[in-house]
Amino acid sequence: MKRISSREELLDYARQCEARMKAVGRRVLICVGTGCLANGADEVLREFERLGADVAAITKGGCDGFCEAGPLVRIVPDNVLYVKVKASDVPAIVERTLKQGEAIEELLYHHPVTNEAYHGEAEIPFYSSQTRVTLCNCGIIDPDELDQYIARDGYKALARAVCDLTPDDVVEEILDSGLRGRGGGGFPTGRKWMFARTAPGDVKYVVCNGDEGDPGAFMDRAVMEGDPHRVLEGLAIAGRAIGASHGYIYVRAEYPMAVGRLKRAVEQCRRVGLLGERILGTNFSFDVTIKEGAGAFVCGEETALLASIEGKRGMPKPRPPFPAQEGLFGKPTVINNVETLATVPSIILRGPAWFQSIGVEGSPGTKTFAITGQVANTGLIEIPTGKTLREVVYDIGGGIRGGGEFKAAQIGGPSGSCLPTELLDIKLDYDSLTRAGAMMGSGGLVIMDSGTCMVEVARFFMSFAQKESCGKCVPCREGTHRMLEILEKIVGGTATMDDLHILETLASVVKESSLCGLGRTAPNPVMATMKYFMDEYVAHIVEKRCPAGVCKALKRYEISESKCRGCTRCAQACPVGAISGEVRQVHVIDVAKCTRCGACVATCKFKAIAAV
């Protein structure tokens, strides 16, 4: 591919790329996102390459979002989406679908209640309720092919930014769009760019924060793996806006696929002149460095991230000065997360008014969420801001797994909050969540059912925050440690009500006095669960009982007299001899001997044993 030296050459080449893609005709897209790969998508891809290459173009695609149903195989333009495809299914797909044009019904997605079969993505409720902006190319193009990105309007936004707009114009368009940072607190992106744009200095930097560390979150990972050029384009536009000639993408080394695809995308852009000197024949020069992080959660904090790029230990610094005034190597720096930057090209290409027309006032646009936990359809979704939690859980997510009862949703990861049943109709936008004492965060959304112990949820997130604390400030280093100690006493059945009062006080102190966002938000899950589920804390402390039957130290197993058949299987399975009884007689558990291992429950085929 030759070097692209002007916008006209880019547009001409885009027409050529689009024509080539259309000329291919039928394409088979195999999702090779991390979730699908874990279920054997690589074997499916190899089988298609072996058996189907003569009848269709075989292409790998990024994460298609519907992780619960993977591996996914999309056939275009036939409008067919196959789910849970195995390598052994490939011969039938090649013969019946690719050669004969027949849809294989058993491989289509079926509604879990009505069993209705859906042929294409647009018909499936999981997809039909979404609006894809950031994820518009994920699963549609091969992330390793620059031509496919260019065929779908790739780098046209950059061309407009460098050929038609001044840097101030670019900042103004992002300001007018109302785009808010998608990585945490939702600070207006345009204002951050404006601060750096007007900061004195000839050398400035833009940084993409790909250090995604929230448990259960994989939004940024999916974008970097599935559409790396969109991230590069957004970063370059940010560079144009603030007057930077160099950008960094900070991505954790635990994302080797994302790192590899980003590096490949950078090299492709350098070869064709979309990165480097005098981009598209203009006076704008810009290049990118991929920086791999070591996986410290605290490096998601801006100042700690910058320290890590500089080769220092990733620890936060007091602010001010803010990075927009004094950031990387002491120069004005803009830091945006992956999703924020991946949204920018669509705004520059379609205009601020278009973006404002999506979502709700004050929080326009779309937001991606990684929806996990006890929900039927786990995966990656993108919705207009303002949709309710109920819509996400029941329309897109398909309801609680196994027909269970919704109990809570943890939103915002370890820094977030729990939304109980009474907040099911809350709108998922920045302001509504803030008023409810929660936060959007990066977009992790963990759905919990009635079998979840909320005290254990708080203990889990506090354990994570405590381990990830850098230890620089006392409130976070010591406060999270003491909070975790108390939570472990509660789930262990040894806490008192005095401990609960101390926990409340500690949470307030840590939140108010910690140095950085990690410490200031670490108490959030504890404070939220105490606010909405205080009865569970009291049950653990006063009654020495876990209402959900989860906490091992508080479990008591009982054998139902009406269900027990005296088969002796439980007694044989018990490792400590805590179960006694004659054959065909009701058995009894010695609570003093019982270690609560659960072996008896797993063994009893009559379901006569339960935790109480």
The pLDDT tens digits of the residues spanning 13-41 come to 999 999 998 898 899 999 998 889 999 99
Which class does domain 555-611 fall in? alpha beta
DSSP label at residue 408: E
Q: pLDDT-derived band of residue 237, with 50, 70 and 90 as boundaries? A: very high
Q: For the chain, give every domain's residue range.
A: 19-124, 154-356, 359-449, 454-541, 555-611
Average pLDDT over residues 197-226: 91
Return the H-helix or E-strand segment holding 335: strand 333-337
pLDDT value for 27:
93
pLDDT at 1 over 80: no
Q: Answer whether CATH 3.10.20.600 is correct for domain 359-449.
A: yes
> Cα 527 vs. chain centroid, distance in angstroms?
23
Q: Is the pLDDT of residue 209 over 90?
A: yes
Query: What average pLDDT does this structure show over 197-217?
Result: 91
Q: Are strands 80-82 and 359-360 parallel, antiparallel or unpaired?
A: unpaired
Q: What is the per-residue pLDDT for 25? A: 84
For the stretch 524-559, pLDDT in tens is: 999 999 999 999 999 999 999 999 988 988 888 899
On the question of pLDDT at 479 being above 80, the answer is yes
Q: How many CA atoms lie within 13 A of 430 on its CB side?
A: 22
What mean pLDDT is reported for the chain? Answer: 93
Q: Say yes or no: domain 154-356 is CATH 3.20.20.70.
A: no
- Average pLDDT, integer, range 176-193: 92
Give the tens place of pLDDT for each residue, 480-522.
999 999 999 999 999 999 999 999 999 999 999 999 988 999 9
Tell me, rounded to whole angstroms, the distance of Cα 172 from its chain centroid.
Answer: 29
User: What's the 3-state SS for 563-599?
Assistant: CCCCCCHHHHHCCCCCEECCCCCCCEECCCCCCCCCH
Tell me what pLDDT residue 363 has: 93
Please write the tens of the pLDDT for every residue from 282-305: 999 999 999 999 888 888 889 999
Structure tokens at 416: 């977030």
pLDDT at 49: 95
**What pLDDT was estimated at residue 413?**
82
pLDDT tens digits along 375-409: 999 999 999 999 999 999 999 999 999 889 999 99
183, 164 in Cβ contact below 8 A?
A: no
Q: What pLDDT does residue 115 have?
A: 86
For residues 440 and 494, what is the distance between their CA atoms, to the nearest angstrom? 35
**Binning pLDDT at 50, 70 and 90, where does residue 319 land?**
confident
Contacts of 438 (CB under 8 A, 6+ apart): 411, 412, 416, 417, 418, 419, 528
Convert the pLDDT of each residue in 277-287 to its tens digit. 999 999 999 99
Q: Is the pLDDT of residue 216 over 80?
A: no
Half-sphere exposure of 551 (CA within 13 A, CB side): 28
Can you tell me the distance from the alpha carbon of 149 to that of 360, in angstroms, rounded to the nearest whole number?
A: 29
pLDDT at 425: 96
3-state secondary structure of 29: strand
Provide the pLDDT for residue 402.
87
Buried b (16+ CB within 10 A) or exposed e, 305-319: bbbbbeeeebbbbee
**CATH topology identical between 359-449 and 555-611:** no
Question: Which helix or strand (DSSP H or E) is residue 209 part of?
Answer: strand 205-210
Q: What's the rounded Cα separation, in Å, for the pair 603 and 574? A: 9
Amino acid at 434: T
Quick: pLDDT tens for 323-369: 999 999 999 999 999 999 999 999 999 999 999 999 999 999 999 99
Return the pLDDT at 301: 87
pTM for the structure as a whole: 0.91
Query: Class for domain 454-541, per CATH?
Result: mainly alpha
The predicted pLDDT at position 106 comes to 94
pLDDT of residue 372: 93
φ, ψ of residue 575 to 5 degrees: the values are -75, -15
For domain 19-124, the CATH architecture is 3-Layer(aba) Sandwich (3.40)
One DSSP character per residue, 487-546 reads: HHHHHTT---HHHHHHHHHHHHHHHHH-SSHHHHHTTHHHHHHHHH-HHHHHHHHTS---
